[in-house]
Amino acid sequence: MKLVRYGEPGREKPGLIDAEGRIRDLSAHVPDIAGAVLEPEGLAAVAALDPSSLPVVDGTPRFGPCVAGTGKFICIGLNYSDHAAETGATVPPEPIIFMKATSAITGPNDAIEIPRGSTKTDWEVELGVVIGKTAKYVSEDDAMDHVAGYCLINDVSERAFQIEHHGQWTKGKSADTFGPIGPWLATRDEIADPQKLAMWLEVNGHRFQNGTSATMVYGVRFLVSYLSRFMSLRPGDIISTGTPPGVGMGQKPQLYLKAGDVITLGIEGLGEQRQVCVDAA
């Protein structure tokens, strides 16, 4: 299934994408794409519905974030060896973990705000993993049982805030609008192998990132198990798994986003996003 949330910010309704690509309204059956709906029983109940029996949503409504009620937005740094090389870093012996504030979450096609004082706002196409069943000390063999599905993420980053200011990476990752997710949550059965997905990103029509999740150093199964050693993972939590090469920081000379720039990105099976950059008010 491809599950969506559509409508105005803060007033999104749950839906699914049918075989013809139309949005079908789920609001008579589930309150939101969140919490218990993401658990195995909740997803099974939605899967049992006949999409043709659900109302078709007219027009082209805004896509909201494809998951609601996210408690943790966990990111993995330098998780592609070729991306680590372009930034001058080495692949870490264990995953680098940092948090992105959940207030950064926005819809896949909403505007990206360039923060006040920013000089190095950057882009990162990433595979997102959405937790559907609480995970605590889970083995790699059992890890995928705790995954509800996958989504497309742009892990927008302000590199000066992230690297040149003192402290941890979180402050360079958490500005409002720095976490577009969606357009849809593809349930686990939709993606045969999350380690074989083509992914790309363009700015103003120029393709900068053209990679594959096959070059991920630490894969989805390992990451879910690894993270569950240090914190419980709960339904709606998101893991953003890192980016392939081609970010602005890796260009020669370096290139960063400015108001008016248009970003488009996509991952095989997970749809596309389009964002216009604007200056923060």
- Token readout for 254 is 């370096």
pLDDT value of residue 88: 72
| Global confidence as pTM | 0.96
pLDDT digit string, tens, across residues 79-95: 987 776 777 777 789 99
pLDDT value of residue 86: 75
In single-letter form, the type of residue at position 115 comes to P
Distant-in-sequence, close-in-space partners of 166: CB < 8 Å, separation ≥ 6: none
Residue-wise burial string across 4-29, b where 16 or more C-beta atoms lie within 10 A, e elsewhere: bbbbeeeebbbbbbeeeeebbebeee
pLDDT exceeds 90 at position 2: yes
CA angle, 110 as apex, 104 and 114 as ends, to 5°? Answer: 60
Average pLDDT over residues 209-233: 97
pLDDT exceeds 80 at position 44: yes
Among 276, 207, 279, smallest CA distance to 246 is for: 207
Q: Is the Cβ–Cβ distance between 52 and 18 less than 8 Å?
A: yes
Show the domains of the chain with their CATH numbers.
2-53 (no CATH), 73-279 (3.90.850.10)
- Token readout for 200 is 């790309």
- ω into 9 cis (within 30 of 0): no
**Residue 64's pLDDT band (cuts 50, 70, 90):** very high
pLDDT value of residue 168: 84
In single-letter form, the type of residue at position 216 comes to M
pLDDT value of residue 79: 94
CA angle, 39 as apex, 176 and 137 as ends, to 5°? Answer: 85
Give the rounded percent of residues in the chain with a pLDDT score beyond 70: 100
